[in-house]
Amino acid sequence: MTNEFYDKVDPYIKPYSFYKGENTYELLKEWKDIEVVDDLFSASGICGLCGYGKNENGNGIRYEHHIENKYNKNIIKVGSTCIEHFLAETTDNDIKNIQDLIQDRENRAGLEKKKVEISATLKVLKDKKLLDVEWYYRYLSYFEEYKGFSIQHLVNIARNLKKIGLEDKMKYFYPANLNRKIKKGKNKGKTLKGLMMELKLYEFKLIKPCLSSSQIREYEKYHGLRK
């Protein structure tokens, strides 16, 4: 930043600032970009920092960016060029957004991996003629859409995997985020838990590898298989 810039902005911003000394650089540090912008829909505004728009005929700023003084909470509206001198503060919300993005990316990577495992396992069933081609693609597109399988799907898949001794592959088939649509749309409003409790013991045993330990505990308690 040049001295001319400091000299120019000082009289505009000093009356609203806490600092009353001569160092404009120090003075500007009191102000932050709060990421609020007003669109005036025409170049009719005046920059509160450098005064642009005050004397020009018809030329002014269209976008008013708000900067706030961190001591006295004054707000000044500045143009798109002057806002470049200010930084927005990182808020807790920004941090949360970044964490959500990372989580989302990890979830998607997890789902991709699961999809590969699932399609490889289903392909074995297809090759062994335990699943016809049409159903193979149906299962894949179901997973694509709902990110999970219905209980009935799981039972069918498990039964066929058992025939070729690959029950351990069942663990790929139960994503934790089994979609609500499956619960509400496809199963007449029954909850996943409700459906699980209705499983016959042999069915439960078939899909056991893809249930969580708390689900197993619940089923076994409900059916008196444990205290």
Q: Could you list the residues that contact Zn ion (CB under 5 A)?
A: 47, 49-50, 52, 79, 82
Q: Of 167, 163, 154, which Cα lies nearest the Cα of 129?
A: 163
Beta bridge partners of 37: 65
Locus of tokens 């590969």 = 116
Of 37 and 101, nearer to Zn ion (C-beta) is 37
**How far apart are CB 20 and Zn ion at their closest, in Å?**
22
Of 47 and 154, nearer to Zn ion (C-beta) is 47
Contact predicate 160/130, CB 8 Å = yes
**How far apart are CB 179 and Zn ion at their closest, in Å?**
51
**How far apart are CB 31 and Zn ion at their closest, in Å?**
13
- Angle made by CA atoms 180, 184, 186, in degrees to the nearest 5: 105
Of 45 and 79, nearer to Zn ion (C-beta) is 79
**How far apart are CB 22 and Zn ion at their closest, in Å?**
21
Of 47 and 118, nearer to Zn ion (C-beta) is 47
SS3 34: strand
Distance between CA atoms of residues 18 and 31, nearest Å: 10
Distance between CA atoms of residues 157 and 209, nearest Å: 12
